[in-house]
Amino acid sequence: MAAATHSRRYPIGPQLDEYGASFRVWAPEGHSVEMVLEESGEAHPLTREETGHFSIHLPNVFAGTLYRFRLDHSETLYPDPASHYQPDGPHGPSQLVDHNSFKWHDQDWRGISPAGQVLYEMHIGTFTHEGTWAAAASHLPYLKELGITCIEMMPVADFPGLWGWGYDGVDLFAPTRLYGRPDDLKAFIDEAHRLGLGVILDVVYNHLGPDGNYLTEFSPWYLSKTHRNDWGQSINFDGESSRFVREFYLTNAIYWIREYHFDGFRFDATQAIIDESSEHILAAISRETRAAAAPRGIYLICENEAQNPTAVRPKDRGGYGMDALWNDDFHHSAMVALTGRNEAYYTDYLGEPQELLSSAKWGYLYQGQIYRWQQRRRGSPALDLPPTAYVHYLQNHDQVANYAMGCRAHQLAGLAQYRAMTALLILMPQTPLLFQGQEYAANQPFYFFSDHNPSLAKLIRKGRAKEMSQFPSVAHHLLEILPDPCAEQTFLACKLDVNERDASPVSQCIYRLHRDLLRLRRDEKTFSRVQQRGNVDGAVLGPGCFVLRFFGENEDDRLLIVNLHRDLHLAVAPEPLLAPPDGKSWDTLWTSEHPDYGGTGAAALETEGEDWRLPGDNWTIRGHCTTVLKPCPRKQINFPPPRRVGLEEDEMQ
């Protein structure tokens, strides 16, 4: 059959048209490639092109057709490297998908931008009992009512086994069959857009999974000959024959934007994406995906363990043009403050008020200082970045699972402290991210889990134990009873119980806490404007206690007073950030100790009156509590004459 002459939407992969379907693969070292139809066993030779691609157009081939490829007359058949669906998993045949058959209803959706986002990290397999896109979609109105603006979906590229996190994906164009069919994913996103929610996808462009990856059967050039990372060989973005490897990944990113209407990406472990090309692959993806989405806006987030801010700098300053970075520094400091423990990778954090307020002002805490845990400098200068350049969190999939028993933050700290820290997370200028179930203090753990063949499972168990052994407390007490990451019960234990959020009094209180804080962040103009750099300042008031002042228009400021320690009495308050606007005093707008949230109430923080001489009067700050203050007209109080500050002339003689 002759090579395809029909115009192609993408340079690789399958494509249906009114006459049949075309197929194109890159196999530069191959001498022949045949497409084999699964049902009939018919083999059709592809035509080799000068670039090392092989292509064919077949008439009378329709959506649902199963097929594989044979390389150089081998007996082994392989799925399409750019397969759009793998109904039987990575080792089975590929299936043709008609992307034009789904009827979208989001024509008026304009996409999202970095400002004003509240992210919700979701693992489809454990978000509901069913573990499907259809089941998850039914809960989107609940997330909208809560105040979420964007779902951050953990990876969905197909992976082997019956459960997993998705970071070992091998079919990068194929949404996993475990959560439903491709149209189910589209329906999820379509419903999210109808409700005004964005959806971004977590993608893994730093390595490929260890089982079911057939890319290297088609070309050894997919993997680098010179670069390595924590998973082995890096993806070849800058070496010999890297042109078409880059094309593969660029096409993949554009494909998710065009065919599934995703609103952007979270890029996993970008420090492991090694590229010395004149244009880094992430910069190319940023440029190409924004063009593909236009006029829709998209949102691009990077995880970068090394805390390199290059990704979010504009391209004219040598950056990649991304929007935001995950910030582990805030998480680590906050968790040390909540738990009192700073072992392993928490070693270089004290959880002190200065760390937390510095994170609110500057994002990363480490911007080039010595980092003892890694015995090197951590980060690079990033004082120029706006608050929108950072995503802050108390929980995410990694950090919950890295507690040996998959414990969540509220289980590691007292509820009062958890409420107080939650208020800081949601009201600080950076973009907050919630991990599924966090909004109602879910009691289900989140473990690391994967389903692999016995030989790989043995290595995964060993690797997980080694990872956990960096925590002395785990190595000494818990290593022998760690949940088996490859056991089905480990996966099932992580499934959320949606009934808990309505049935448990504690869950109801914590849900109201999150809902009201998100409304405050959205509706209070002073909080909504602080994502501009320089609109917040802070000061330490005492052990475990600090103030953040959010500067509003026309002196409509707000104070956020966070006290993670015991009650603090400020008989003297020589801190200018505590001073109210002229002619005003401070009044409580919100407190984490309100009974609606399970608290025991909190008195006014700043007091004045006829008893002003009493010891301890002035500021009384409740322990384990966060309070938001707003200015109000000052009451007229007859104070005694002020004491003289200096000596009168007759007293000096």
| Same structural domain, 421 and 508 | yes
| Same structural domain, 480 and 542 | no
| Same structural domain, 374 and 456 | yes
DSSP 4: P
The pairing of strands 198-203 and 150-153 is parallel
| Neighbouring residues of 171: CB distance < 8 A, sequence distance ≥ 6 | 79, 83, 86, 90, 157, 158, 159, 212
CATH number, residue 562: 2.60.40.1180
pLDDT of residue 1: 40
In which domain, by residue range, is 57 found? 13-95
| Element (DSSP H or E) covering residue 282 | helix 281-293
Mean pLDDT for all residues in the chain: 93
Q: Is residue 508 included in any domain, yes or no?
A: yes
| Same structural domain, 579 and 462 | no
- The letter for the amino acid at 157 is A
| Same structural domain, 467 and 436 | yes
Active-site annotation, residues: 268, 303
| Neighbouring residues of 182: CB distance < 8 A, sequence distance ≥ 6 | 84, 85, 97, 99, 175, 260
> What secondary structure, in 3-state letters, does 94-153 show?
EECCCCCCCCCCCCCCCECCCCCCCEEEECHHHHCCCCCHHHHHCCHHHHHHHCCCEEEE
pLDDT of residue 642: 60
pLDDT of residue 604: 86
> What secondary structure, in 3-state letters, does 417-458 show?
HHHHHHHHHHHCCCEEEEECCHHHCCCCCCCCCECCCHHHHH
| Same structural domain, 493 and 560 | no
Distance CA(125)–CA(380), nearest Å, equals 37
| Same structural domain, 551 and 491 | no
| Same structural domain, 480 and 577 | no
Q: Is residue 111 included in any domain, yes or no?
A: no
pLDDT of residue 466: 82
CATH number, residue 419: 3.20.20.80
Tokens 């007490």 sit at which residue? 477
Q: Is residue 255 included in any domain, yes or no?
A: no
pLDDT of residue 528: 84
End-to-end CA distance of the chain: 114
Torsion angle of the four alpha carbons 367, 368, 369, 370, in this order, in degrees rounded to the nearest 10: 130
Q: Is residue 154 included in any domain, yes or no?
A: yes
| Same structural domain, 466 and 388 | yes
- Which residue positions in the chain have pLDDT lower than 70? 1-6, 475, 608-617, 636-653
pLDDT of residue 501: 86
